[in-house]
Amino acid sequence: MHPVAFRNPFERTSQAFQTVVVIPARYHSTRLPAKALADIGGRPMVEHVYRRAASARGVDAVVVATDDERIASVVTGFGGIARMTSASHRTGTDRIAEIARDLACDVIVNVQGDEPLVEPGMIEEVVAALTADAGTPMSTLRRRIDDAAEYRNPNVVKVVVDENDRALYFSRSPIPHEPAKAGPHARDVEAGIRTRDVETGFSRLSFKHVGIYAYRRDFLLTLTTLPQTPLEIAESLEQLRALEHGFRIRAVETLHDSIGVDTPEDLDRVRRQLETPGPRLEGKETRRGAGLRT
């Protein structure tokens, strides 16, 4: 496999960078230590994430933000760019913001370091969402839920949006709520629209949050200085801080999905996916929107 070739975005040149993907990756994960270096098909997980991000159209550079020399060494070994950060960051967003201070770019994309099956198209979509809406400082993705277990699973973050794809709320609870049995005067019946699947019990209006973010650089630096908010703390969802402080998040629909690696079982699933030709994702519990993770 060819080495990844990007100009170093930390070197000041006359050519400005527009979009930089930053991958936060720390060594000491609670449930799966050293997962960034876990072998998947003969390559470390962080390399899979890096190469997929590098394949996205419109990306000018990819950087791994890490607090561990072992991860940094592996990244530079396969031709990637790594940057050491403080070990005291509580969230991946804080780690990315430290990197952002030294970058001269317009847009920064947060791609989690434990998403080895991330599709390059997902990165393209989240960046395009900012390009399409100059007044929006932050964007993310959502995917329609088609499984009742996901709808009820608190580890799968749900999001509801307005008519312009702007997020109204994120929650670990099933949203929007619909009654178990629609009465004869229920609004969906009157409108001739069935939004709830009676057989499985989940709303056709419900979307899963897919935890990839694009930020305008200046907004990202502002966001990390804002105090935590009550709903953010209650839901353990960092993106609610932006909404509670009055900022808009554009959440565009995607057909893509990914598998986040939090446990040894997740790692086994990813390995099977890469070894098996055909459809990429097995099973339905493809995890969460982004919570408070590093």
**Please, where are the H alpha helices in 104-235?**
120-132, 148-152, 187-190, 217-223, 230-235
Going by their DSSP bridges, the two strands 138-144 and 39-40 should be labelled as unpaired
Q: What is the mean pLDDT of the chain?
A: 84
At residue 192, the pLDDT reads: 39
Mean pLDDT of 13-33: 82
At residue 184, the pLDDT reads: 46
Q: What percent of the chain is predicted at pLDDT more than 70? A: 81
CA 125 and chain centroid, separation: 12
Q: What percent of the chain is predicted at pLDDT more than 90? A: 60
Q: Which of 286, 294, 218 is nearest to 254 (CA)?
A: 286
Domains and CATH numbers, the chain: 19-275 (3.90.550.10)
3-class SS of residue 48: helix
For the stretch 126-165, what's the b/e string if a residue is b when 16 or more beta carbons lie within 10 angstroms of its beta carbon?
bbebbeebeebbbbbbbbebebbebbebeebbbbbbeeeb
Question: Which carries the bigger pLDDT value, residue 248 or residue 273?
Answer: 248
CB 294 within 8 A of CB 90: yes
Long-range contacts, stretch 14-19, CB < 8 angstroms, 24+ apart: 16/104, 16/105, 16/106, 17/60, 17/61, 17/103, 17/104, 17/105, 17/106, 18/58, 18/60, 18/105, 18/106, 18/107, 19/58, 19/59, 19/60, 19/105, 19/106, 19/107, 19/108, 19/109, 19/127
Over the stretch 133-153, which tens digit does the pLDDT of each residue have? 889 999 999 999 888 888 888
pLDDT band at 44 (very low <50, low <70, confident <90, very high): very high
CB 64 within 8 A of CB 30: no
Structure tokens of 197? 């699947």
pLDDT band at 277 (very low <50, low <70, confident <90, very high): low
At residue 195, the pLDDT reads: 56
At residue 254, the pLDDT reads: 96
Task: Please report the DSSP string for 81-121 in residue order.
Answer: EEEE--TT-SSHHHHHHHHHTT---SEEEE--TT-TT--HH
Q: What does the H/E/C string look like for 108-119?
A: EEECCCCCCCCC
Kindly report the pTM of this predicted structure. 0.85
Over the stretch 152-192, which tens digit does the pLDDT of each residue have? 889 899 999 999 999 999 999 999 876 555 444 444 444 43
Tell me the CA distances in angstroms from 124 to 40, 128, 245, 279, 290, one per residue in order. Answer: 25, 6, 27, 21, 18
Mean pLDDT of 194-198: 52
